[in-house]
Amino acid sequence: MIAISGLKKRFALTREHKKKKSQTDPRERDGFFHSVEEVNLHCGEGEVLGLLGPNGAGKTTTLRMLSTALTPDDGTILVDGQDIVKKPVVARKAIGFLSGSTGLYGRLTAKENVEYFARLHGLKGKALKARCDALFQRLEMETFLDKRAEHLSTGMKQKTNIARAVVHNPKVVVLDEPTTGLDIMTTQTVISFIRDLKSAGTPVIFSTHHLDEVALLCDRVSVIDKGITCFDGSLAEFKTKGQSHELNQAFLNLLTGAAHV
């Protein structure tokens, strides 16, 4: 179970940015850019939540706070009842996180990268081998396990990154645009893997711009606009509040007509 309440994060504007006195974004004020102003969402056991919003809405900042890569200025993040803002070490053991900026060690092979992170999480011996072999098979990685990461295709790198993120059997999985730039076959593998996590009872939060993925995978939807949650509820409620059974239109209707909640 993941519960986020009253999440806020601001960043100091540079001196050069202050001189421009830009009024294009209301989040720029008092010498700060308020990237996340009021985000609230929750995702229960075995649920998949799609995190939606325009570019620059605050989705990645929110997910980075959930991963403990950033510390919130205010608000709470609970994972299985544990306050991960106060206990970030506990969070890092409980969360599997994949972001668009997650990197691999280029001179290590795909297999070595995943095994390295497995060891960081305390896996060793037969347990390490069994877990890695299961992931390699499920993510269809056998053909490139011995290739250096620097020579992998985009799809190969993403599969390796996903294996790295979940090798420790996390209680929660957070994926930031996991299918961006992937071909159809690799995208299908990622979608099937998310379904496996759901079947195993693992809460999954993933951000995406692809509403077809939301239709295929999601139980819940959360929409962020200008750093504020403007919707958080079930997929059925999303269609109702967005006044359309077509998800793209429901999303646009929420952004242009819904009051922030």
pTM for the structure as a whole: 0.90
Which pLDDT band, with edges at 50, 70 and 90, does 261 fall under? very low
Looking at residue 96, what is its pLDDT?
Answer: 94
CA distance 60 to 39: 12
Residue 20 has pLDDT above 70, yes or no: no
- pLDDT tier, 25 (very low <50, low <70, confident <90, very high otherwise): confident
Q: Taking a C-beta distance cutoff of 8 angstroms, is the pair 60, 83 a contact?
A: no
Of the listed ranges 22-26, 98-102, 194-198, 206-210, the least confidently predicted one is 22-26
Q: 2-257: which CATH number, 3.40.50.2300, 3.40.50.150, 3.40.50.300, 3.40.50.460? A: 3.40.50.300
Distance (Å, whole) CA 107 – CA 167: 20
The CA-based angle 187-188-189, given to 5 degrees, is 90
The pair of three-digit structure tokens given for residue 223, joined into one six-digit string:
């929409």
∠ CA(216), CA(218), CA(219), 5° rounding?
Answer: 130
Mean pLDDT score, 198-203: 96
> Does position 259 have pLDDT exceeding 50, yes or no?
no
Structure token pair of residue 110: 């795909």
For range 239-248, the mean pLDDT: 95
Q: What is the mean pLDDT of the chain?
A: 92
Q: Residue range 171-191: average pLDDT?
A: 93
Beta bridge mates, 86? none
Contact assessment for residue 41 and residue 97, using Cβ atoms and an 8 Å cutoff: no
